[in-house]
Structure 1
Amino acid sequence: MNSQNISLPPPEGGFIRCAHLRGGNTLLAQARFDLDRYDDSLGVRWNLPFPPALQQAVKKRRAEYLVSRWLAREVMGQMGIAGFLLQNHSDRSPRWPDGLQASLSHTDGAVALAATRQPRCVGVDIESVMSLRTAEETAALLMSSDEKAQLRALRLPFSLAATLLFSLKESLYKALWPQLHQPMDFHQASLLEADIAAGRAVLALNQTFSTTFAAGTRLEAEFQLEADRVLTLLTHPVAGNKKPAEQRG
């Protein structure tokens, strides 16, 4: 993910530590926050009210909601949509402005958002690196034996490699959901290639979901590895395949 980033000045309060935006055909933004500096009054001060369903949510959930809505408003502002307040469809997927494809993800202390006006499906995912125990215990659910061998060959700690695979498949699922509205499990797509130096990966569908997304379809992604986090972004051309929104509230 080599990029030229521009800083997004964080709001007052010190809760959001930093934020930046990578330009291009697909905007990619990230924000980092300090949960210890969260305060419920920030939502009012930033004009980002909490919905009733979150009034009794745990502090971490409220904090992630506030950062994600702040970041969405900032990114939409960069795209000429002022004062945007992100809401959800009835299936809990984000409700983005018409003519725009976007994806949002959050993990401990970080939020990521990708958005484009191009006819491309987009999925972004940010994950805290799982423990080695979790990686070993979930391997059968997450990966095939061939994929496990691929991960072992990457010369990464297995916990980091497994988190990368998990995040890549999450990004793929998020990218395809608005197009298909079909659930997917981890074995319905496979990792074909992963270039650690270039931060690039290729996955393939193992099942036919539609004429556009048939078995064997290759989907390209990019990724960024940190000591404690993995960020993945998958985009793929799509034309006229998006299902109508009437079933989504």
Structure 2
Amino acid sequence: MPEGDTVFLAGHRLDEALAGKTLLRAELRHPRLVTNDLTGRTVLGVRSVGKHLLTRFSGDLSLHSHFRMDGAWHLYRPGQKWQRPAHQVRAILEVDDRFAIGFALHDLELVPTSQEDRLVGHLGPDLLAPDWSDAHAAEAARALAAAPDRQLGPALLDQRVMAGVGNLYKAEVCFLLHVSPWAPVSAVDPAEAVRLARKLLLANAWHPEQSTTGQLGRGRQHWVFERGGKPCRRCGTRIKVATQGDDHTARLSYWCPRCQPTPSR
């Protein structure tokens, strides 16, 4: 599932391409939305909220989309070949010089802009919010600390705590904090966990590459994420990988057993 920085960058690019322009064509290929015609409306802007994207139109209307595992928005010039098959298209927004194509967007919904909170109001502070403040940081830290016995990995992924962290940043934050994803939240300083999560997301928000090590060379971008069986960059111990969580919450976790001792579980 895309991380918050991926959605942020997609929203920024869509905003640059569409904001202030009139829709010449608007198709929503979703069973609940196919009868809605947005043609003629002005795109007021596009913004991300954690892993959610909100495209706002004139007339108090917003299109909510969520990438889930395989969704994406692409931008094309007239005449350009689409990079994904047409049967995956769920939305087409055309302005005078661009096509915004939404592929595999399983979650699409139209709501009054004034009622966007119905869809994103449950989220914790958005780590990439342009108005991020000390108050947001404190709110996220309080939410994280509210369940001190909860395993840190799933807590970091909980979008109700803070919005934007995915499996990549969960693994990397745990490594940089020197704790296992299975360690309880009480093993870390919640404020530092929030600060580090925002720092990593912000460092990658304006480009598609996602590096937590400061390096962009192939295979050098991450400390532990997707490096199962490879040597730890700190101590040389083999990185371990295991499933954490149950049912729909299950995710792979990566950690160094020496740098991040795992509590008995």
| TM-score of the superposed pair, with normalisation by structure 2 | 0.28
Higher helix share: 1
Higher strand share: 1
| TM-score of the superposed pair, with normalisation by structure 1 | 0.29
Higher Cα radius of gyration? 2
